[in-house]
Amino acid sequence: MTEYASRSMVSGDRPLRRDMRLLGWRYHRLLEEHGGHDLRQTLDRLRGLAEQRLLGDAGAHDRIAELLAGESLERLTDLAHAMGLFFDLANLAEDRHRVRVLNGRQAAGVERETLSAAATALAQADPAQRDTLLQGLSIEPVFTGHPTEAKRRSARRALRRLRRDLVALDPPDPRPRARRLRLERMDRDLSALWYTDPISPRKPSVMEELSRTLFAVRSVWRVAPALLADARAAFGMDDADAVHAFRPLQLGLWVGGDRDGNPYVTADVTRRTLARLHRTAIRMHRRECRKVRRRLTLSAAQAGLPDHLKSRITEACANHPALAERVQRLHPQEWLVQWLEVIDHRLRRSLAPPGMPTPADGYATADALLDDLRILRDALHDAGHDELVGGALQRWRDRIGVFGLHLLRLDIRINSADLAEAVDGVMDRFGWSPRFAEMDEPARRAALQRELPPDWRQLVKPRELPTGLRDMARLFRLLAAVSRVGRGEAVGNLIVSMTHEASDLQAALWLARVFGRGEPARMPVAPLFETIDDLQRSEALLRDALADPGYRGHIDRTGGKLECMVGYSDSAKDGGYLASNWGLYGCQERLAELAKQHDLKLTVFHGRGGAIGRGGGPAARAIQSLPPSALDGRLRLTEQGEVIAERYDDPAIARRHLEQLFWGALTVSNRGDHGSGEVQPDARRVMTDMAGAAESAYRDLVQSPGFLPFLQHCSPLTHVAGMNLGSRPSRRRGAASLDDLRAIPFTFALNQARAPINAFYGLGAAYQSLSDEDRKLARQLYERWRWFRAVIDNASSGLARCDVSIARRYADLSPEPESMHALCDDLEREFQRATQAVLDLQGQEQLLGAVPWLRRTVRVRTPYIDMLNLIQLELLRRRPNLAQPADVEQLDQAMRGSIQALAAGLRNTG
């Protein structure tokens, strides 16, 4: 690690170099004490050979492979484990330095992409337009349960403790004993990490995934009030009513509601999830209540509190003897404390099972709780104590605005095929034919508009239905009940994944009405467009859906909001990187125009992942490249897997990330800052031509005879699928096909094999297909069009992580080398073309040339990542030759370790 520090740091990064030296010294001592001198010597030798490869020695990798072939399985396991710990500590130091840099920039007043910068940009806008934008501002990160987090929670806890101790040592503690105790604690945590299996031995349950997510939510709970206070200050919101109405941030959730291909998300699990969220929110609000109570111990007589506050306390106690008894034990002049006791009582009484009415003396909605806090605020204001309105009281009010009584809004996601199957089941109960799944689109729509049988309610009683249909019925009944009792804020969207036709949306509404006993849940039914074809057809599909009075009426009942989700993962897996990005851009433009024609408020929900091939990359860059007409101050996007840990584990990083989301949404939505303005016809023509050529090249690759065998038998796909990263299976419906394989394991496995094709493949062929004049235009587009620049810059990152020579070694594992050789030749040819295209467009001489710190990071990590790839390859080579179950289990354990270590080194999984 010392060598890593010396090569990766530049002048001025002294604190980071110090952290690297500290962690590096303790890491090497750990290797000596627990791994043994031989292990450290082997690591040093491997690193030296890997460095020689970076310096141009083409045979270095062969010598590493020969050395590894002679090692025992136990030694290979230890090597992978040691390398994984090395990257964990390097990431820890880098993340710590990132916070240090953020704090330094903030102190120096040189931060970019801030709320103040957004306010400055909006100052030039029309005041009415600015106010409308701020009033409608809505930022909603949605935490998903997608299995891309490769590290076990126990390992993350130990790393968090190490991070806290690292922070405490910066600056160095002048007390020698305190410093020594912290270093000793770090040594203990490092020792524990060495002996801790970083991979879970079993798949987590859905409720365990929920616990993981709630850990990250606590960071947002901590930083949200400060973020909102900064926003109000930046935009000059001094009026109390404006402050009260300003609620631009909320959080969403898929864990417990995402049924797409996950048989473990049942109606009961959804019910338990809603109950857990509600219970956690109440507990956290009661904690805030106690904090405020400790600060507002004013005497009514001395502080001049108004009499109407005492009247309200008396009124509340009159109907509840237990409350009256508790209030009587309090100081008789501390009316504010007494009123907070009333609020605490109502919070306790607010707990109710999902779908059941809230007790009369509880809070049915967050607005009711805010109304009681407004009484407290008004009492302080009337008594002239405005300075006490802020602080803990305002922070609590902000948290209520963000988290409500539900903590996170739970989305429900169901695959269109599952909805069709459920409709078939109900229609079979009604005696209708033919099967819904076998009808064409006009027949489907007509069937969904048929009058229901007179006894339809009796025919769909859940307890009398087949198992699968029974669970769907219970889900829709639960959602209807939640809406009926006024708790609709607890649920977000009903998302129909793989939406191919308007009838897919109508089927969801039909089932909601039938199983909701004629009263469907008041939640938006949102299409999810995931394939290239569906992105292109999205406008026509939605136009057909809006022509249906039932669907349009449901939108009007849910606030006139048109919610649409676009999928970055499956579209890139389907048609490749460039076609996916262009299809997404055009889809959003067309949806925005359609919403405008129908006078609807459009919210585009961005289904982004962490990897470049799944819509990843810097969040601010991604937002800045969106079509302004499709944003308009409303931003909803997924946060998943390792991205959640990286962005939300540390409160300082979480706050910075959220501020960048605000900044991006505001500056793009500001009509005076459209980046390139309207996309010109020539630009559209060039992009359409490039996307078509790129899609053709990509599909030629993935449909070639060698691709699926490479993915299934040469890459670590099988081991990735068996790593117990999440509760759901790696395939949607269990079919052994590329179409059924989820985008996450697809991307994860290719990243591990250093062949991230959905992050660049086809871009080179597309650029090569252009005329000289169109290439000149493309270079101009890179300079002035934020979307195109983001696409090219992200591709540069994907190319920098690709290594065709490593991918060839994975391909050599195939028993059919001929098709593999052709596949790798195609990969190498396109890698060279795409690299040249990116450099030409950027005007650079080397990949990541415009981002020196990232180029240094990639270059420094590459030898260590190469070592891990070669370890993984040796394990894959040995796997078919093992017969004893114990040997197979040991090798699989080593494989899981190598996958986790590579994920840490690449800082990227799926």
Query: What DSSP line would sit under 184-229, residue for residue?
Result: HHHHHHHHHHHTS-SS-SSPPPHHHHHHHHHHHHHHHHHHHHHHHH
Give residue-wise pLDDT tens across range 189-199.
999 889 887 77
Q: Give the per-residue pLDDT at 738.
A: 75
Question: CA angle at residue 360 from 355 to 365, to 5 degrees?
Answer: 60
Check pLDDT > 70 for residue 330. yes
The one-character DSSP state at 881 is G
Whole-number Å distance between alpha carbons of 358 and 569:
40
Q: What are the CA-CA distances from residue 634 to residues 133, 563, 849 (Å)?
A: 9, 10, 34
Burial letters 264-281, b for 16+ CB under 10 A, else e: bbbbebbbbbbbbbbebb
Instruction: Identify residue 510 by its one-letter amino acid code.
Output: W
Angle subtended by helix axes 392-403 and 206-234, to nearest 10:
130
Determine what percent of the chain is predicted with pLDDT higher than 90: 60
Whole-number Å distance between alpha carbons of 99 and 166:
12
Give residue-wise pLDDT tens across range 212-250.
889 889 999 999 999 999 999 999 887 766 677 789 999
Note the helical H segments in 801-851.
804-811, 817-842
Determine what percent of the chain is predicted with pLDDT higher than 70: 93
Element (H, E) at 561: strand 561-567
Give residue-wise pLDDT tens across range 586-611.
999 999 999 999 999 999 999 987 77
Q: Give the per-residue pLDDT at 9.
A: 36
Average pLDDT over residues 652-679: 79
Tokens encoding 540: 């026509």
The contacts of residue 404 (CB under 8 Å, 6+ apart) are 250, 281, 365, 366, 489, 490
- The three-state DSSP-derived secondary structure of 86-129 is HHHHHHHHHHHHHHHHHHHHHHHCCCCCCHHHHHHHHCCCCHHH
Tokens encoding 41: 């010597």
Q: Which of 761, 757, 758 is nearest to 837 (CA)?
A: 761
Give residue-wise pLDDT tens across range 396-420.
999 999 999 999 999 999 999 999 9
The contacts of residue 385 (CB under 8 Å, 6+ apart) are 298, 303
Whole-number Å distance between alpha carbons of 355 and 148:
32
Check pLDDT > 50 for residue 11. no
- In 501-544, which ranges are E strands? 525-529
Whole-number Å distance between alpha carbons of 584 and 607:
11
Q: Give the per-residue pLDDT at 676.
A: 42
- pLDDT band for position 421 (50/70/90)? very high
Asked if residues 292 and 393 have their Cβ atoms less than 8 Å apart, the reply is: yes
Check pLDDT > 90 for residue 674. no
Asked if residues 526 and 595 have their Cβ atoms less than 8 Å apart, the reply is: no
Q: pTM of the predicted model, to two decimals? A: 0.90
Average pLDDT over residues 642-655: 86
- The residue that leads in pLDDT, 151 or 538, is 538
Q: Give the per-residue pLDDT at 908.
A: 66
Averaged confidence pLDDT in the chain: 88
Q: Residue 553: exposed, middle, or buried by beta-carbon count in 10 A (0-12, 13-18, 19+)?
A: exposed
Helix (H, G, I), strand (E, B) or coil at 848: coil
Long-range (24+ apart) CB contacts under 8 A made by 466-475 are 466/425, 468/421, 468/422, 468/425, 469/422, 469/425, 469/426, 471/266, 471/267, 472/267, 472/418, 472/422, 472/511, 472/515, 473/515, 474/267, 474/268, 475/259, 475/266, 475/267, 475/270, 475/412, 475/515
The one-character DSSP state at 607 is E
The contacts of residue 617 (CB under 8 Å, 6+ apart) are 790, 793, 794, 797
- The three-state DSSP-derived secondary structure of 370-418 is HHHHHHHHHHHHHCCCHHHCCCHHHHHHHHHHHHCCCCCEEEEEEEHHH
- The residue that leads in pLDDT, 101 or 382, is 382
Check pLDDT > 90 for residue 379. yes
Whole-number Å distance between alpha carbons of 881 and 876:
10
Give residue-wise pLDDT tens across range 686-705.
999 999 999 999 999 999 98
The contacts of residue 98 (CB under 8 Å, 6+ apart) are 653
Give residue-wise pLDDT tens across range 106-144.
777 777 888 999 999 888 888 888 888 898 999 999 998
The one-character DSSP state at 730 is S
Rg (CA), the chain: 29
CA 538, 543, 544, 546 torsion: positive or negative? positive
Check pLDDT > 70 for residue 434. yes
Asked if residues 421 and 506 have their Cβ atoms less than 8 Å apart, the reply is: no
Asked if residues 742 and 144 have their Cβ atoms less than 8 Å apart, the reply is: no
Whole-number Å distance between alpha carbons of 471 and 742:
24
Q: Give the per-residue pLDDT at 436.
A: 92
Residue 415 CB-half CA count within 13 A: 14
Check pLDDT > 60 for residue 548. yes
